[in-house]
Copies of this chain bind each other. A is one copy, B any other.
Amino acid sequence: VPKHSNSLDVAKLAGVSQTTVSFVLNQRGDHSISEETRQRVLKAAHQLQYRSNRLSNGVFRGNTGLIGVVSPQITDDYYAHLLSSVSSHCASSGKTVIYSPVQDEDQPKRDPMLSLIEYRVEGIICVCAGVIGGDLSDWLDELAQKGIKCVVIDDRSYEGKVHCIVSDDVTGVHKVVQHLTSLGHRHIAHLGAGEGYSTAINRRAGFVAAMAELCVSESELLIAGNSFDEEEGREAARKIIGSPNRPTAIIAANDVHAAEVIKVMKSFGLRCPEDISVAGYGNTQVARALDMTSVDQQPGMIGHEAMESLLTQAHEQSSLLPTKVIDCRLVVRSTTGPCPK
């Protein structure tokens, strides 16, 4: 029968009490223990391959050492970087990550939250990406009442109720538009998602606002596609590139869409950036691979901030913390160039 050795086993082998074992292993100052006993305990623990049971530990004191992450599609570059950064921060802070995926969109984040609470996590980072309609509100109330800290990423709907950290999508797209106008472009299209997710909404809003500054009326705005779906992106690209009113620059809602735009351009015999400039969003591997202009959202920094917030947050204040907006950087590469005559 396989068995983990416990602190009593160690105590017996070392010829001391459980108390002493606990004090030696946790290096507490209050009890001073003779060097000799200390060594005996350490040796016994090593011999028995004793691994302290963090669960019991968590049951007794509040401290479970667990941080929960709720997030959709970890296969997406952005979410992957977020989780990666959170988990390495955890590793160096002595915390451990429980990852709870958001399964489909129709079945909202009920279950993921539930299991995190059942494991008595100390804090939760919720990257629900602002799926509109998802009702986080009840969960947030429950977390607050139970003293579980929480940070919500990329969704300001619950501001005032929970600490929010968001990527500055509006400014991100604004920077792209500025870059393009400085190259002489004025006939600029926005392609891809524009609703459903708060990020999609904000990127589109950023586009609309930036174009308004250029005195382009809303009716003149070139907008194509409305989802993050790859197929639809390609379809939208075909439509806009094939249209008589073809733009000189296209800003895609993300890098994958931008890649589709470039493919479609090729099939039309158009060159990038000579005929049309293309910019992506996210600065993912795809952007680097295509040497494509894109916006870096610095997901690593977002994850880092989220962890910092959890680790320093006092329960009472958390809801009062002002929303943290993380800057994004425009990365100019070879897919954007001067506007053709």
| A58 to B, closest residue via Cβ | B55
Q: Give 1 or 0 for each of A96-116: 1 = CB within 8 Å of chain B CB.
A: 111111010000000110110
Given contacts A75-B84, A146-B4, contact A100 B111 (CB under 8 A): no
Residue of B nearest to A143 (CB): B2
Q: Complex: how many Å from CA A54 to CA B59?
A: 9
Are A55 and B120 in contact, with the CB atoms below 8 A? yes
Copies of this chain assembled into the complex: 2
Tell yes or no: A135 within 8 A of B by CB. Answer: no
Report B-chain residues with C-beta under 8 Å of the C-beta of A120. Answer: 4, 53-55
Closest CB of chain B to A306's CB: distance in Å?
15
Check if B53 sits within 8 Å of A59, measured CB to CB.
yes
A window 237-270: CB within 8 A of B: 255-256, 259, 263
Min Cβ gap A243→B in Å is 23
| CB–CB A101/B88 < 8 A | yes
Q: A59-B55, A80-B75 are in contact. Are A263 and B291 (CB under 8 A)?
A: yes
Q: How far is the CA of A91 from the CA of B102 in the complex (A)?
A: 9
Quick one: which of B77, B98, B118, B288 contacts A75, CB cutoff 8 A? B77
A284 close to B (CB within 8 Å): yes
Whole-angstrom distance between the alpha carbons of A75 and B56 in the complex?
A: 33
User: In terms of DSSP, what is the predominant structure of the interface of chain A?
Assistant: helix
A87-B101, A98-B96 known; A255-B289 Cβ under 8 A:
yes
Identify which of B91, B111, B142, B290 contacts A259 (C-beta below 8 A). B290
Number of A interface residues, CB 8 Å?
A: 57
B145 touches A119 (CB 8 A): no
Question: Which of A115, A119, A284 gathers the greatest number of chain B CB atoms within 10 Å?
Answer: A119
- Closest Cβ of chain B to A298, distance in Å, is 13
Contact residues of A with B, CB < 8 Å? 2-4, 49, 51-56, 58-59, 64, 66, 73-75, 77, 80-81, 83-84, 87-88, 91, 96-101, 103, 111-112, 114-115, 117-120, 142, 144-147, 255-256, 259, 263, 284-286, 288-291, 315
16 chain-A/chain-B pairs, Cβ below 8 angstroms:
A2-B145, A2-B146, A3-B146, A3-B147, A4-B120, A49-B146, A51-B117, A52-B118, A55-B55, A55-B56, A55-B59, A55-B119, A73-B84, A74-B84, A91-B111, A91-B112
